[in-house]
Amino acid sequence: MKLSTSLSILLLSGGFAYASSLAVYQDSTFYNFTPKNNFLGLTKNVKAKCEGTTLPLTVSTTCPSDDRLCRLLETWKDAEHRVEAVQENSKILQKLISLPQPTTFEADTWIETAKRLGEEQARLSTLQRSLSEESKILKSEYQKQAPSKYALQTSQECNKELELTLPRGYISFSTYYEADMKNNNEATVTQYLSVTNRSGIDIQADSAMFFYRRAYQNLHPVHFRPWIASKYKPRPQRVSKSAMAKRKSMDMAIMAEEMMTPSVSMPAPAASYEDAREYKIQNLILPSTGVPVDVKVLSWNTALTCEIRTYPYENSRVFYVCSFEPKYQIDSNSWKVRSSAEMINENALGEYRKGKYDLYTKVEEDIKIERRRIVNKERETGIFGGTMRKKDGYILTLSNKSDNAKEIKITERIPTSTTEEIKSKLLSVNSKKKLSYKILKEGQIEMNVSLAPNETEKIEILFEISHDKDLQVDY
């Protein structure tokens, strides 16, 4: 029997005493390593096991001075201390000013004293603002990297393999793609894994696995239950107090079970594609900085079919869309699109559609589209044998502002009906130049238009709505 990828890794990891491993799921993370000392990191809500035995953990206000996060924490604490010192100095100065005044008055002495007091107040006020800003910056920088100000450590040493279980969100990952378009017919697709550590524990893993699924899944046995047909008996709508109490008790039990279940709430490394939605990184160095570490997973070439599309009924923008058949499953619709060194779009989107993958690479800024309904006086309405027939429509104005010819695929629509009482049909699609179009299901119209450089073209689309004269129709 062939073992699954994740199970094989778990079995193999037990055979190497000093190998470190990381397994990141959507709801939790497991980190196995051999510790050098009792200190774990500046973290909380972590569980620890030494060779399968649960270890008690203790919290301390001090941590190793050679640890990077500990040094950052001390810098932040020092900044807070300096802010408090300036605040206390300001309070003492205010008390001195409020002391009883002398009975004799010497103008020169008072003027000099007032001047010195004012300068000192201004100095302390400026210093406090400066130190407060520095403290806020350090606080923000620290909180991006660690969830706690206190050091977490094991109460006893573990000289063997230590397994840490970290809550959701401490280690997070996502995938994104980059398409390098060599031309309109071919592109190189590269997938990246972006991993972020905010656990307060600097991680080094010989092998790291990333899974797009939960580690904890509540599954209950399912038994066959017959579907009974019986004589109908009216059932009372009122719920008895005992039933309500029983339901409340069941709800409380379910809540208790959910509370006991772990929360579902958040050399260069080499990555590999292990299976659909499973990834592996070798020799991962992942410091708890809150900064994503991007690792290349795989790369492959694909043939492209690119075209200019627009959907005027929904959006006046025109898109450059490239379609292809992915060699691997696309796990994320976030893309970066480039052409060699030129970045075309840092935030492109894609989707699976009709068996292929459509990548919306950029907006065609040189093509402008205006859509307007035909005004009321141009509409024709009549009653024929008790049937109301109304002609309606709209006009598309397309302008090519570039110096190059453009081929545009336009997707438009006319009203469609789900009842026999209302009928809708396309009457005409008119333009001065030759235009190819077809009417599809649900009133969808597809048109292909060629625009010469700096050319403007108008397309008139007319349709008819027919229904009984006593029926009111809205569309």
pLDDT given for residue 233 in this prediction: 74
Q: Is residue 268 part of a domain?
A: no
Q: Residue 254: which pLDDT band, with cuts at 50, 70 and 90?
A: very low
Q: Residue 435: which pLDDT band, with cuts at 50, 70 and 90?
A: confident
Q: Is residue 250 part of a domain?
A: no
Range of the domain at 77: 68-99+109-143
pLDDT for 144 beyond 90: yes
Residue 412: CATH number of its domain? 2.60.40
Q: Is residue 15 part of a domain?
A: no
Q: Is residue 398 part of a domain?
A: yes
Q: Residue 245: which pLDDT band, with cuts at 50, 70 and 90?
A: low
Taking only the tens place, the pLDDT of each residue in 133-142 is: 999 999 999 9
Q: Is residue 19 part of a domain?
A: no
pLDDT given for residue 261 in this prediction: 38
Higher pLDDT: 379 or 296? It is 296
Taking only the tens place, the pLDDT of each residue in 395-406 is: 999 999 999 999
pLDDT given for residue 14 in this prediction: 42
pLDDT for 460 beyond 60: yes
Domain count, the chain: 2
Q: Is residue 305 part of a domain?
A: no
Q: Is residue 324 part of a domain?
A: no
Residue where a domain stops, chosen among 143, 168, 198: 143
Q: Is residue 392 part of a domain?
A: yes
SS (H, E, C) the chain: CCCCHHHHHHHHHCCCCCCCEEEECCCEEEEEECCCCCEEECCCCCEEEECCEECCEEEECCCCCCCHHHHHHHHHHHHHHHHHHHHHHHHHHHHHHCCCCCCCCCHHHHHHHHHHHHHHHHHHHHHHHHHHHHHHHHHHHHHCCCCCCCEEEECCCCCCCEEEEEECCCEEEEEEEEEEECCCCEEEEEEEEEEEECCCCCEEEEEEEEECCCCCCCCCCCCCCCCCCCCCCCCCCCCCHHHHHHHHHHHHHHHHHHHHCCCCCCCCCEEEEEECCEEEEEEEEECCCCCCEEEEEEEEEEECEEEEEECCCCCCCEEEEEEECCCCCCCCCEEEEEECCEEEEEEEEEEEECCEEEEEEEECCCEEEEEEECCHHHCCEEEECCEEEEEEEEEEEEEECCCCCEEEEEEEECCCCCCCCEEEEEEEEEECCCCEEEECHHHEEEEEEEECCCCEEEEEEEEEEEEECCCCCCC
What is the percentage of the chain residues whose pLDDT exceeds 90?
53
What is the percentage of the chain residues whose pLDDT exceeds 70?
81
